[in-house]
């Protein structure tokens, strides 16, 4: 796998706008280019279930940032968007995870790649099917679990996303 895969989720406020705002900030980084974007999916919460449903998507990117620099950049976006970390797996306006960083394997306290629980999460696997290399589809399809409902919320493509991000940029609505 050549690309870097990110998973984005939101279940507080205007969930779709939160995803687009995060994507706006991601592509503003001159070291990151967007390769592909999945459809948006409405998903049940996992872990802490006493909260509203999430919207989730995956994106494929290329970057000159190393994994640690990318993590720092994504955490800065979460801070900029005022993400609060009060409850583990709790409600959040934005969550950005690195699922894969090319074929690298990292197992450190602050960064684990591939993401340690991606195989358990339909809200990652199903959007990933939209953007992964065709050769990987059977592997990822075999990981889909019966629990954890995931429903298509909105069909989405890269050109639509870029147009909608331009609207966000022009309106100066970032939060």
Q: Which class is 4-171 in CATH?
A: alpha beta
pTM: 0.79
Contact at 8 Å (CB) between 94 and 78? yes
111-120: pLDDT as tens digits: 888 876 776 6
Catalytic residue status for 83: yes
Q: Which of 3, 15, 92, 130 is catalytic?
A: 92
Catalytic residue status for 50: no
Q: Which of 3, 15, 83, 130 is catalytic?
A: 83
What residue segments make up the domains of the chain, in order of their start? 4-171
Q: Which of 95, 121, 130, 149 is catalytic?
A: 95
Look up residue 37 and give its two tokens. 């974007």
Catalytic residue status for 103: no
Catalytic residue status for 97: yes
pLDDT at residue number 169:
59
């Amino acid at each position: 796998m050549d690309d870097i895969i990110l998973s984005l989720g939101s279940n507080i406020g205007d969930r779709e706008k939160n995803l687009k705002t995060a994507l706006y900030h991601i592509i503003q980084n001159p070291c990151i280019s967007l390769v592909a974007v999945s459809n948006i999916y409405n998903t049940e919460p996992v872990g802490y279930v006493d909260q509203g449903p999430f919207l989730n998507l995956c994106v494929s990117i290329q970057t000159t940032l190393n994994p640690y620099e990318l993590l720092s950049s994504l955490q800065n976006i979460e801070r900029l968007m005022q993400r609060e970390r009060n409850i583990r797996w709790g409600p959040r306006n934005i969550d950005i995870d690195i699922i894969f960083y090319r074929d690298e394997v990292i197992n450190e306290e602050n960064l684990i790649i591939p993401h340690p629980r991606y195989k358990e999460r339909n809200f990652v696997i199903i959007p990933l099917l939209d953007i992964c290399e065709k050769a990987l589809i059977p592997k990822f399809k075999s990981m889909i679990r019966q629990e954890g409902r995931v429903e298509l919320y909105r069909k989405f493509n890269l050109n639509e996303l870029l147009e909608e991000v331009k609207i966000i940029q022009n309106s100066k609505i970032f939060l």
